[in-house]
């Protein structure tokens, strides 16, 4: 993966992210204009900008504590700490992520916090199923989430969603209380405004799902670059999907990837693997030995 290709892909994902955030702001602004005209529009725009600074920051250790995970020392999982340290340095993180272990048999890993307060949790099930290369691919994905500050971005989008739901509810209540006056007068109700009041929360949720999928693709790209070998994460995703489908087939006839992708927070595994395979022709040589990310 050459540097120009990486920059182009990162720029594409960044522009997609900005576009979605602008659409969320426009949706909130449209609700503000529908409810209170120009004043409501200006208030919504100011609130949109302020939301970035008002997004709550939950300490990473509290998230891990709430999930039931426990922190592990370097002596407990030395290879995992070695992988995390190497990839974090490559990602430019000044603070190494604290590692947490969850006793669940579910195949899961997730990141929390910010680049200044990072943490990563891996489950017992994940460690028991994946080999070291595959674990490195997953760790690269989570570290990319941290270096991209994705938790902040998704929290910002979630706050937009809450504000949109509140504005939609307020507008519907205002319309309901004004209904007798509207029926007794010649005032016409705009169908577009009515549709916006009703469907804005659903549209906001769909935009948040789209944003989440974009950030997942970007974290996959980051993993491929940090490890130097897209096959590491691709192999992990393939193995996780096999286990997931095996469990779902007990209850459903359709495979998970046959569902409606736009209703999911994550892209389909097949599409993620396909994109990772497209990164193969120009594997990264920035870090010396290709694929080297642990002792």
Among all residues, which ones are annotated catalytic? 142
- The HSE-up count of residue 208 (CA atoms within 13 Å, CB side) is 18
Distance CA 287, CA 10 (A): 19
- Concatenated DSSP letters of 3-38: HHHHHHHHHHHHHHHHHHHHHHHHHHHHHHHHHHHH
Q: Specify whether the backbone of 289 is left (phi greater than 0), alpha (psi in -120 to 50) or beta.
A: beta
Pairing mode, strands 117-123 and 109-114: antiparallel
Q: How far apart are CA 147 and CA 81, in angstroms?
A: 17
- The CA distance from 9 to 12, in Å, is 5
């Amino acid at each position: 993966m050459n540097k120009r290709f990486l920059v182009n892909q990162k720029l594409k994902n960044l522009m997609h992210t900005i576009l979605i955030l602008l659409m969320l702001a426009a949706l909130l602004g449209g609700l503000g204009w529908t409810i209170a005209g120009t004043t409501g529009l200006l208030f919504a725009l100011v609130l949109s900008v302020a939301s970035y600074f008002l997004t709550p920051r939950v300490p990473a250790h509290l998230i891990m504590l709430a999930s039931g995970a426990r922190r592990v020392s370097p002596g407990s999982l030395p290879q995992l700490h070695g992988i995390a340290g190497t990839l974090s340095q490559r990602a430019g993180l000044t603070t190494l992520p604290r590692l947490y272990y969850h006793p669940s048999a579910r195949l899961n890993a997730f990141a929390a916090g910010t680049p200044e307060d990072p943490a990563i949790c891996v489950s017992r099930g994940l460690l028991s199923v994946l080999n070291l290369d595959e674990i490195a691919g997953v760790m690269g994905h989570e570290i990319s989430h941290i270096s991209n500050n994705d938790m902040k971005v998704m929290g910002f989008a979630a706050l937009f969603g809450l504000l949109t739901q509140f504005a939609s509810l307020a507008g519907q209540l205002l319309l309901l209380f004004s209904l007798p006056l509207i029926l007794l007068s010649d005032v016409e109700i705009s169908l577009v405004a009515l549709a916006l009041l009703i469907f804005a929360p659903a549209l906001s949720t769909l935009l948040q799902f789209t944003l989440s999928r974009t950030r997942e693709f970007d974290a996959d790209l980051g993993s491929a670059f940090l490890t130097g070998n897209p096959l590491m994460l691709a192999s992990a995703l393939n193995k996780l999907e096999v286990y997931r489908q095996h469990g779902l087939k007990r209850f459903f006839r359709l495979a998970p990837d046959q569902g409606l992708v736009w209703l999911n927070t994550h892209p389909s595994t097949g599409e993620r693997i396909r994109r990772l395979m497209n990164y193969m022709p120009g594997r990264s040589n920035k870090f010396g030995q290709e694929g080297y990310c642990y002792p």
